[in-house]
Structure 1
């Protein structure tokens, strides 16, 4: 009875060195420890150190190479049929550039959200609405700094906090935040598009 190798692959695997071995991109399981150790160090790709980027590969390519080394081995692939190797080789100076981009995106998001809230308030004329409600309830003119404006401002902050389920390193619940969900969906769409584009280019 031949041994069985279980080969599990994710859709996108990130590596930080150009010499890629099978253990770097896949989770391996086999009852034969000798075969498993040999396959762990099987070379998969030798990328150019100066060309970081995304590289699409097929699980069939891996199976072909494994069968050349272990012809009697039964291979059971689990997971993705096509996958992406994301090679990132970032020297020290690029870390500063990364932080600059993070700060820029954070500021753009903060001021953009604030501008959106202000334009919404102006569109519905929220100031006049609060002023009218305050005058009707209390019988006194509003100075535009009443309990309505204060509670509304606090409510916006709390609403954003509860919606995004995140404040610094603290999370209100263990559920993923809406931002994390949207980023995951975006990442999945990008990976799927890259793989489909490569497949179309091969067919042409």
Structure 2
């Protein structure tokens, strides 16, 4: 048995169209320093138009290529069994008109949601009663309470999402980032599952 080399695939990478993928691009390699560089430069896959936007490189394919090119080595695959390759697409400049329309729709929708919520829970009546309990006077619009409350809603949303434009307040992920992370995990699982089923069907047909 030859010298042992250990390969751990990355979970996902992003490459440009028509890129050549080598082992060092999709995996961490450890073992003898004299062999790591040679192993890392091994050609694995060529991105083509048929890959469209996503491709999955299976660990067995990687090991098979390494065994064929380095039969004297004992290749050990640890960790991930697949690497999801996301292929960068040509980005178009966003339309200012379209962005403005979407922003306006989101703004109106958010405002309507907040107003409907406050109407459902009778927030104005609650504030009127609080004002009466604290001061003994009955007023229709207790502004000294309503204005700070309205400002507090905006500040609370900024703190909740942990962002003010591109500025972060701390390293803690926001709930939105956590949900996006979960969504990405589900998407990766779906892509991997679909790719494995597709490969199985192709092998059966052969």
TM-score by length of 2: 0.82
Q: Which runs of 5+ in 1 are unaligned?
A: none
Give 1:110 shift.
4.4
Contact preservation (8 Å) 1:13, 1:85: yes
Q: Which residue of 2 aligns with 1:133?
A: 130
Report the Cα offset of residue 70 of structure 1.
Answer: 0.5
Q: 1:99 to 1:74 in 2, by over 3 A?
A: farther
Equivalent positions of 1:20-35 (< 5 A) are 20-33=21-34, 35=35
- The count of residues paired between Structure 1 and Structure 2 equals 200
Q: Distance in 1 between matches of 2:4 and 2:21?
A: 23
Q: Distance in 1 between matches of 2:9 and 2:100?
A: 34
Q: Structure 1 residues 89, 51: CA separation in 2 closer, same or farther (over 3 Å shift)?
A: farther
**What does 1:31-180 correspond to in 2, within 5 Å?**
31-33=32-34, 35-49=35-49, 52-90=52-90, 94-97=91-94, 109-180=106-177
Give the whole-Å Cα distance in 2 for the aligned partners of 1:191 and 1:99. 32
Q: Is the contact between residue 5 and residue 30 of structure 1 (CA under 8 Å) also seen in structure 2?
A: yes
| Gapped regions of structure 2 (runs ≥ 5) | 202-206
Q: Is the 8 A contact 1:13 1:25 kept in 2?
A: yes
The 3-state SS of whatever aligns with 1:96 is coil
Distance in 1 (CA, whole Å) between partners of 2:194 and 2:50 is 24
Question: Residues 125-150 of structure 1: CA distance to partner in whole angstroms, max 9, x if unpaired?
Answer: 21122123223432333242512211
Q: Quick check: 23-32 or 62-71, which moved more? A: 23-32
